[in-house]
Structures are given as C-alpha cells and as structure tokens.
Homo-oligomer: A and B are copies of this chain.
Amino acid sequence: MTRRPVMSDVAAKAGVSHQTVSRVLNGHPHVSPTTRTRVLAAIAELGYRRNLSARVLATGRSNVVGVVAQNTTLYGPSSMVQAIGEAALGADLSLTVGHVAGYDATAASRRIVERLVQQGAAGLVFIAPVDAAAEAMRLVPPGIPIVTVDGLPEWNVTNVSVDQYAGGRLATEHLLKHGHRTVWHVAGPEQWHGSRAREAGWRAALAEAGAQAPPMLRAGWTAASGYQCGRMLARIPDCTAVFAANDHVALGVMRALAEHGRRVPEDVSLVGFDDVPEAAYFHPALTTVRQEFADVGRQALRLLLDQLVSGSRSAASALVEPALVDRDTVAQPATTGSRA
C-alpha cells in the first residue's frame, strides 16, 4: 500500500516545483500553457487530490458552511436542507450538515456546533425552530457569520423565515370568510416558534373579526397526534371550522372526523399548513397554506454569503410570504347557511 500522492510528487513527475503545481491548481496567472498541461497530465496520471486540511491550515479560510438542523425527517427541514445544499454547490461551497436527534437537542446541538467550529466552518446556518437552538448558537465564536432559519428576532442575528403569523391569519380568515362563526385551532408543539406564530396569527384574525377564540388543542407535527385531537373535535357539534398545525395533523383530524361520521367539508371545514406534495391527494384534497421551503433555504444561503464577503455578522432578515392554496376542505357551514 503506497501513500496518497502529494504536491511534490506531482511536481517531481512534471519536472517543476511544488509551487508551480499549486499555481496551476488555483488558477493563478503566470503559468505557461505548456507547463500547465504537463502538470495537469501528472495530476491525472497520479490520481492526485489536494489535501484540503493542509490548504485550510495554510490559508486560514475554508469554504465549508455548516448546517445545524433539528429534525430532518420532517418535510420542512429536509426540504430546506436540500435547497441549501443545492445553493451551496452552486456557490462552490461545501456543506457539513449536523443532524440533531430529536431527544436530547441541547447536548447534541452543542457537540455539533463544537465540531463545525473546530472544522473551521466559514459560516453556519441554524435551522432553529426551537428555543434550544439559541443556546447552541452562543457557542459560536464571534468571528463566524450565522444565519438562522425560523429563529427569533430578539436573537439579533440574520434570520430568514416564512411569515407564519401571516399564514395563521390567512388560514383563519379564509375560514371566517366562508361564514364560520369561529375557528378552532390544533396547534403544533409549543417549543416551535412556528407553532406560536401560527397561533398568534389565528388569534389575531379571530379578534379582528370579533370572533371568540375557542380553546386551543395541542398536537405534535404527526398525523397520530392530529388524530387524537380530531377525536375530541368530532364530539363538539359547534366545531365547524378547524385550522390545523400542518398538513399531517390535518390528515389525522380528517380521519378522526370521518370515523365519527362528520364529513369534510360539509360538516367541518379544515385548513392545513405547509402544502406537502401529497396534500392535494388527500381525500378530500386539503386546503392549506403553502410555505416555500426551498426559497427559504436559498435565501438563507444568500444572506450567509453576504456576510461572508462583508466579513462580519449582521442582523438583516428576510421574510417569505406564505400563500393560501384553496382546495376541497373548506365550505360554508351547513346550519348557519346565510347568517353572516
């Protein structure tokens, strides 16, 4: 077993100095075309790859950006990571993704951040939809730019998120507009900023319409938890309109409703959130609020890049507007036909 070739091996083979090889590799000027091709040939022949560690050590810069993601099994986070990855590839950056397991978020985030920093990450993207992320963020040395996704404004860091408050309003107003007296809400986990923002939007829309806010139900992000909540809602005759935390929760709710013989949308109208690709094929097709996750990912990387070139952290921000996608789960309430 022979060791990996290094720059001087290439240099020897091409009959030049290692520095010339370096110049070729980095596209520096002042290298004659003939030398360049000779060097290139030697590289190919030896199967030489440059050692990135040595390069980072020598230059003090690296072009890897780290991503700290919360729960990449979920559709939202995974779409964003994917989008960031594609954008990074385009910007000739490489991506190191630290996947935080669900159960011990704080400890895991710490370790991940620690590693990313030690690896010399040039910048970090925190997909930080929960408070636990803030603490890990504090471990990052001041020199390294940060962008959060779904972070909180008070963290005072560049942030990009979907305007979930607006989304909550959108959903609620849409239901109200169809003549429902009020709208029930099955919320997501309360640690998630998104849940809280959607809830706030829901309350705001209700208040503005002069409608009383019914008690709020708490679900996770899963269909199973939505189903549990749905079983409660199904027993409440007054409940004619529901805004669910996300599409999967909505699916669970629909299921519970159906089992109790309550039809969607005839008896109960329902709006989800996210617009996962299969939402249009639920039965009936789900009316929902679309979040452009890929867009969020791209913007996050763009903002990080801005900081990278400017060389310092900033607190710029971007908001992505959600949009209502009207399908088949919203209708007039049956009893109060032409009341409003």
Contact = CB atoms under 8 A, between A and B. Distances in A.
For the complex formed by this chain, how many copies does it contain in all? 2
Interface string A248-291: 10011011001000000000000000000110111101000000
Interface in A85-107: 85-86, 89, 94-99, 101
A123 interface: no
Nearest to A248: B278
Interface in A27-81: 47, 49-54, 56-57, 62, 64, 71-73, 75, 78-79, 81
Contacts of A114: 49
Given A141-B49, A143-B4, A281 B89 contact: no
A165 interface: no
A51 B283 contact: no
Chain A interface residue bracket vs B: 35 or more
Nearest to A100: B85
A190 B202 CA distance: 45
Nearest to A121: B52
24 contacts: A47-B141, A49-B141, A51-B120, A52-B115, A54-B57, A57-B57, A71-B82, A72-B78, A72-B81, A78-B78, A81-B99, A82-B99, A85-B97, A85-B101, A94-B112, A95-B98, A96-B97, A222-B277, A222-B278, A223-B278, A251-B281, A252-B281, A255-B283, A283-B283
